[in-house]
């Protein structure tokens, strides 16, 4: 077996996890806007979002296990679970650890969604934006593939798409709130007459 199999496993696991995370965030944004109508939408659309998030967690665990198993850079469990404990690029590695904990929080609360208040669930779920950002920083600053042109182009495309969908989400939410404020005043006018 190749000596570097764990290093390749760690690298591939991290890249796949980040792409899956980006797709999950993008799909969640599509579901939360009017770009994908929720009325009459099949249940598999939400299931796909959940599945992508769960797969991102699985591949993050593959990434972490590959780092611990590899002997090129000495990562023990404390270096992959405690921010700033790593001697190798401590800042960027810490961003990855923070991202891992955010991902776990989002996934656990997604599983417990029906047992939580909607407000608490939303608060945790909104950390997905931070999760996406810290994961992007982690990959671009600590990943050994960050200089690869395919990785760069893919990263720029995923970040751009996510930023665009976030902007659409913000604008559609503002439009919905504005329409909700205008609707009662319009319906009150004919009744008053």
Q: Is residue 87 part of a domain?
A: yes
Q: What does the pLDDT read at residue 193?
A: 45
Q: Number of structural domains, the chain?
A: 1
Collapsing DSSP to helix, strand or coil, 113 comes out as helix
Q: Is residue 117 part of a domain?
A: yes
Please report which residue ranges of the chain form alpha helices under DSSP H.
5-32, 44-69, 77-81, 90-111, 118-125, 127-142, 149-192
Q: What does the pLDDT read at residue 73?
A: 79
Q: Is residue 34 part of a domain?
A: yes
Q: Is residue 142 part of a domain?
A: yes
Tally of CA atoms within 13 A in the half-sphere of 169 that contains its CB? 16
Collapsing DSSP to helix, strand or coil, 86 comes out as coil
pLDDT tens digits for range 120-159: 999 999 999 999 999 999 999 988 888 899 999 999 999 9
Residues with Cβ within 8 Å of residue 172, at least 6 apart in sequence: 33, 34
**How far apart are the C-alpha atoms of 19 and 9, rounded to whole Å?**
15
Q: Is residue 62 part of a domain?
A: yes
Q: Note down pLDDT in tens along the chain; length 193 residues.
A: 677 899 999 999 999 999 999 999 999 888 887 666 656 566 788 889 999 999 999 999 999 999 999 988 789 999 999 999 998 899 999 999 999 999 999 999 999 999 999 999 999 999 999 999 999 999 999 888 888 999 999 999 999 999 999 999 888 877 767 666 766 655 555 554 4
Q: Is residue 193 part of a domain?
A: no
Q: What does the pLDDT read at residue 65?
A: 95
Residues with Cβ within 8 Å of residue 37, at least 6 apart in sequence: none
* 172-to-34, 85, 134, 168 alpha-carbon distances in Å: 8, 42, 25, 6
Q: Is residue 85 part of a domain?
A: yes
Q: Is residue 74 part of a domain?
A: yes
Domain enclosing residue 140, as ranges: 5-188
Q: Residue 139 is encoded by which pair of tokens?
A: 């990959």
**How far apart are the C-alpha atoms of 171 and 173, rounded to whole Å?**
5
pTM value? 0.84
């Amino acid at each position: 077996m190749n000596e570097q199999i764990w290093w390749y496993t760690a690298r591939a696991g991290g890249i796949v996890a980040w792409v899956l995370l980006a797709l999950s965030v993008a799909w969640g944004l599509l579901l939360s806007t009017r770009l994908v109508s929720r009325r009459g939408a099949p249940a598999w659309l939400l299931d796909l979002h959940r599945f992508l998030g769960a797969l991102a967690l699985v591949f993050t665990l593959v990434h972490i296990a590959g780092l611990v198993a590899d002997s090129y850079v000495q990562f023990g469990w404390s270096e992959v679970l405690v921010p700033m404990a790593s001697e190798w690029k401590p800042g960027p590695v810490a961003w990855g650890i923070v991202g891992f904990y955010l991902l776990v929080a989002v996934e656990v609360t997604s599983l417990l969604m029906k047992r939580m208040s909607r407000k608490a669930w939303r608060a945790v779920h909104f950390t997905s934006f931070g999760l996406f950002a810290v994961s992007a920083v982690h990959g671009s600053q600590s990943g050994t593939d960050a200089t690869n042109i395919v990785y760069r182009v893919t990263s720029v495309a995923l970040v751009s798409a996510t930023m665009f969908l976030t902007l659409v989400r913000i604008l559609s939410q503002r439009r919905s709130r504005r329409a909700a404020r205008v609707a009662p005043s319009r319906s009150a006018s004919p009744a008053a007459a």
